[in-house]
Structure 1
Amino acid sequence: MLNALSPIGVMDAGLGGYTVVRELQKILPCEDIIYLGEGKYQPYGNRSREEILHLTRQSLSFLRDQSVKVVAVACNTISTLIDAYQPDFDFRIFSIVQAGADDVIALKLSEVGVLSTMFTAKTGQYVQLIRAGLPETKVYSKGCPWLARIIEDGDLDQKRINAELKDTLGVLVAAHPHLESLVLGCTHFPLIIDNIKKLYPQFTRFINPAASQARMVKAYLKRENALRPNGQGTLSICTTSDTKVYRRMASFVGLKNIESIRLVPAPTPLEK
């Protein structure tokens, strides 16, 4: 039986998962949250399947040691491999890719673009999950090799961000000039949504899976009678990267009730 007083775990390959924490704090203000941003080996989207699984299992083990009751995997890249690591852990793990696909299905879109990391695009997970619910929907995926890394640096360099968008999303737009809906298939990307809107105003609908994932977590905890009944939840931020950047970006995103921001040991790399 789940302990209602245990914290919710959120993990990402970096600080993009702050967007999920923000949504969780909106709808579950009583819950304590432990965030793990594994930024040392970011971007995961440029790594192999074996490397991603090796690093991910260590991060999930860290959260297990914090006695979390559930984990929201805020990284789309990591979420594409959930079937490979969920059996290794006795707590429920939520995929943000599934959340994003569910949003598209609920909207009954006839076509949609998906902007993601390279690995997420190559897996074809969004295409498979969306078409499982909407077989006729056209899904156009485009991977960005460096956009998440640029955002992870924390300075939101506008020239670098716009250049990467033009090299990636620009290609998708050129191929499908009438496309109006776009899935933000990496939790870093909502942080630069204004850049996308200015460069490509044709997009009038953005699907941010973070909100849907937060609702999935809440619904599950409610079913399991594991919602923290009262009190003001706190946020503990752990990172394997730069605590100063994580502190600055937490303020930028608007995270609340931060109890601590601390550096924790990074996973050991996969031996080759």
Structure 2
Amino acid sequence: MKKPIGVIDSGIGGLTIVASMQKLMPGEDIIYLGDSKNVPYGNKSEEDIYLLTMAMLKFVEEREVKLAAIACNTISTIHKRFNGKLPFPVVDIVTPTVDHIDKMGAERLAILATEFTVKMGSYERMLRERRPGIEVFNEGSRDLATLIDRGEFDSQATYDIVKHHLNSIKGKGEVYNIVLACTHYPIVEEIFLDIDPSLNYINPGFQQAKAIRAQLHDMELLQRDGLGSVEIYTSGEAGIYRKAAEKLGIKRMSEPKTVAIKEYTE
């Protein structure tokens, strides 16, 4: 039986991974769940994030996925807590991105992320393990993911906050590589490019999609034939998901649906 890939996120941001997955693995069916009712995760406690994420993982488990992608940098900072708790592999977004940066040989970069992701320091810690001398400039944003999740892709408020963060990053030191370490951010990548096209914006979602393809190949579960479909579910307003998916060029998508996610308790 052909099994889908599960993709979970706190909101619409993970659709950037779905878009990358469709380009790299067009034959795969994808089940997407965004917990917009509880977005943003980046301002919550670790325990709240863990319980909300387990509830999402149980949702995709019921749909018999063969692998789940944590399409959220905030959740990925605690990805080891999910090891061994599910009957399928769970792929985080931080590790593939660190692998990519290491191969690039970057000596200095900035991490633009939610406050929680910056506080957890997973990117910086893993990068320093690989490249002890690397310079990392952290920039936490409380509001950018929320604005994007509301569908404010072209608003003045979104433009202003991106400009504020880029100015803040450039004020910390000479930097060329900026990791858009929240999956919401690449949805408005054109704003980043409009403000400063000279910088190299790294999209972790694309690196995660490549890692998933490699893992499915190794597991002999990669679907090479046909064209896969996308089912989108959310705990919040479904309309914004169609708007974001269309902006990202996602194909063969059914109408997004609002669902209730069962609370997870241990």
Contact 2:13 2:184 in 1 (8 A): yes
1:64 aligns with 2:61: yes
Cα distance change, pair 113–267 in 1 and its aligned pair in 2 (3 A):
farther
CA positional deviation for 1:199: 2.4
Task: Please show how residues 162-177 of structure 1 align to structure 2 within 5 Å.
Answer: 162-176=159-173
Contact 2:73 2:181 in 1 (8 A): yes
Q: Which amino acid aligns with 1:91?
A: F
Q: Sequence identity, in percent?
A: 34
Task: Please show how residues 73-84 of structure 1 align to structure 2 within 5 Å.
Answer: 73-84=70-81
Contact 1:105 1:130 in 2 (8 A): yes
Residue in structure 1 matched with residue 47 of structure 2 by the alignment: 50
Paired residue for 1:262, among 248, 257, 264? 257
Paired residue for 2:25, among 22, 28, 39? 28
Structure 2 unaligned blocks of 5 or more:
none
CA positional deviation for 1:269: 8.8
CA positional deviation for 1:136: 1.2
Secondary structure of 1:115's aligned partner: strand
Q: Which amino acid aligns with 2:189?
A: I
Paired residue for 2:219, among 220, 224, 235? 224
Hey, what's the Cα distance between the residues in 2 that align with 1:229 and 1:168? 41
Contact 1:55 1:267 in 2 (8 A): no
Residue in structure 2 matched with residue 192 of structure 1 by the alignment: 188
Contact 1:40 1:266 in 2 (8 A): no
Runs of 4+ in 1 over 4 A off after TM superposition: none
CA positional deviation for 1:247: 1.1
Paired residue for 2:103, among 97, 103, 106? 106
CA positional deviation for 1:157: 4.3
Structure 1 unaligned blocks of 5 or more:
none
Task: Please show how residues 97-136 of structure 1 align to structure 2 within 5 Å.
Answer: 97-136=94-133
Q: Which amino acid aligns with 1:46?
A: N
Contact 1:34 1:235 in 2 (8 A): yes
Secondary structure of 1:68's aligned partner: coil
CA positional deviation for 1:230: 1.8
CA deviation profile, 1:145-198 (whole Å, cap 9, x unmatched): 01000000013242111222244332221122x211101100111112222223
1:249 aligns with 2:244: yes
Hey, what's the Cα distance between the residues in 1 that align with 2:143 and 2:48? 18
Which range moved further: 226-235 or 59-68?
226-235
Scaled by the length of structure 2, the TM-score of the pair is: 0.95
CA deviation profile, 1:105-124 (whole Å, cap 9, x unmatched): 11000101010000000001
Scaled by the length of structure 1, the TM-score of the pair is: 0.93
CA positional deviation for 1:229: 4.0
Contact 1:30 1:232 in 2 (8 A): yes
Secondary structure of 2:192's aligned partner: helix
Hey, what's the Cα distance between the residues in 1 that align with 2:148 and 2:92? 22
Contact 1:97 1:126 in 2 (8 A): yes
Hey, what's the Cα distance between the residues in 2 that align with 1:230 and 1:198? 38
Hey, what's the Cα distance between the residues in 2 that align with 1:125 and 1:224? 27
Hey, what's the Cα distance between the residues in 2 that align with 1:269 and 1:159? 38
Cα distance change, pair 50–180 in 1 and its aligned pair in 2 (3 A):
same
CA positional deviation for 1:224: 1.0
Secondary structure of 2:83's aligned partner: helix
Q: Which amino acid aligns with 2:29?
A: D
Cα distance change, pair 201–30 in 1 and its aligned pair in 2 (3 A):
closer
CA RMSD of aligned residues (A): 1.6
